[in-house]
Amino acid sequence: MNWIQSSNVPLTVHRTRSAAGSTGYNSIVPLKTLVQVVTQDDPTRVDRIVAALGGLSRSGTLGLFDHECVCVNDQPETNCLRELAPGDTVQVRFDPEQRYRPRPRAWKDSGFNIVHEDDHLLVVEKAAWILSVPTEGTSQPGDTSLMGRISAYLSRGGKPVSAHPAHRLDRGVSGLLVVAKSPQIAASLRDQFEARKPRRLYIAIARGRVDPPDGTIRSHLATGDDLSRYSTADHQRGQLAITHYRTLLHGADATLLEVELETGRRNQIRVHLAEKGHPVLGERRYQRRMASHPRWTARRLALHAAELEFIHPRTHVPMSFRSPLPGMFATFFGGRLAAKIARFQEARATESATEVTPADHEKNRPVGHSKDRAGGARAEPESGGRSGNTKKPAKRGGPRPRRKTGTGKTIKRRSR
């Protein structure tokens, strides 16, 4: 590697030193300057060149970028991953007696996105490809499930902290989940789900033309020897499962549904729609052959947890969160139907007058959170928390207010 140490010293640093038997004094210490012209044999990434120049650790290298000690072609460079070309000049100026600590970086995890966090719980958007909880026998150090990843996030300060699930989403399903930071908060949230108090609304693409377009599916779900779920007439063996659905869009061979859970049994939506003859696209367990579709090429279920409402177990404030449809849902329908989905999403987004704006959401984000993905979730969390305003969820047992759909028609919500 060809590099030179600059002979001229254009910059200096003043440091106060203490000498034995004397008072403090100021000395002028020159900054060390290293320069390298990139050749064909050198690494192409600038951080690797800087690390080699200074003989620095990864932490020390990142610190130099964060404190603007690196220039490329005489221009300050803060992107440590920048790719360089032969002939580019890298210059590093730093005080060799100073430790340059890297600044805290946002937590990034492709498995989840944080929508809301306070001292007691988190609301996250789960990616479709990960498990909500570890499978039996998975050790904590190697836990790549959602709970393992959130536990790693909570433990970033050095002290081990565990995440506690309040409910789950199947692998292959994306969307909103609430996760507790303590067993007590998790137990309180689970009590709410057991009492059917939280509102959970999903968006699904089902195979075929669902008829009738709106309805309720009620059955008792039992578990087979292979752990698959099925409806049974034996009420002693099965758990009561109630699913409400409403058609949003009809395609030639698929239907976009809004599905609301009254109960939250394992695989409930998937089993109910499959037994009705309209399995969720991408389904690999229930009506697998029927669920395949040439336009649905994603290796996931066409099922997304779009809305979640519950009562905060500590503050008792209503919490309401909304997650946008994944882009592949609109891509699947294409053409004018894609525009209708966009209008539907817009109508859902403006349904609440108390919904926070993206700027508010970013302003109230705790330090260390990753930014929302494009078109990220909107939330109306607890007052006095870290994120903005509140929205009271609709009460169960009574009629819900009229609202407009993306097609401009006004419909009345189903009475329970």
Q: How many C-alpha atoms does 311 have within 13 Å on its Cβ side?
A: 14
Same domain, 52 and 150: no
Mean pLDDT calculated for residue range 382-389: 39
On whether the CB atoms of residues 102 and 63 are closer than 8 A, the answer is yes
d(CA 295, CA 303): 15
Same domain, 315 and 205: yes
- β-strands 3-5, 254-261 pairing: unpaired
List the CATH number of the domain containing 48.
Answer: 3.10.290.10
Mean pLDDT calculated for residue range 82-95: 91
Q: Which residues pair with 159 in a beta bridge?
A: none
pLDDT at 31: 85
**Active-site residue flag, 119:** no
Domain count, the chain: 2
d(CA 5, CA 39): 17
Same domain, 90 and 116: no
Domain end call among 67, 94, 121: 94
Same domain, 42 and 82: yes
Average pLDDT value over all residues in the chain: 79
d(CA 405, CA 340): 10
How confident is the model over 276-307, as pLDDT tens digits?
999 999 999 998 888 999 989 889 999 999 99
Same domain, 73 and 181: no
Same domain, 27 and 172: no
Same domain, 245 and 134: yes
d(CA 178, CA 313): 12
Q: Is residue 106 part of a domain?
A: no
Residue 29 confidence class, pLDDT cut points 50, 70, 90: low
d(CA 141, CA 129): 20
Same domain, 402 and 372: yes
Q: Is residue 102 part of a domain?
A: no
Residue among 170, 214, 253, 372 flagged as catalytic: 170
Mean pLDDT calculated for residue range 120-142: 80
Q: Is residue 274 part of a domain?
A: yes
Structure-derived torsion over alpha carbons of residues 290, 294, 295, 296, reported in degrees to the nearest 10: 50
pLDDT of 231 above 70:
yes
Q: Is residue 100 part of a domain?
A: no
Domain housing 17? 3-94
Same domain, 396 and 252: yes
Same domain, 89 and 121: no
Q: Report the greatest alpha carbon distance in the chain.
A: 93
Q: Is residue 10 part of a domain?
A: yes
Residue 334 confidence class, pLDDT cut points 50, 70, 90: confident
Same domain, 41 and 189: no
| Neighbouring residues of 39: CB distance < 8 A, sequence distance ≥ 6 | 2, 86
Mean pLDDT calculated for residue range 143-156: 89
Query: What pTM value is reported for the model?
Result: 0.62
Mean pLDDT calculated for residue range 189-206: 95
DSSP one-letter string for 266-299: TTHHHHHHHHTT-PBTT-SSSSHHHH--TT--SS
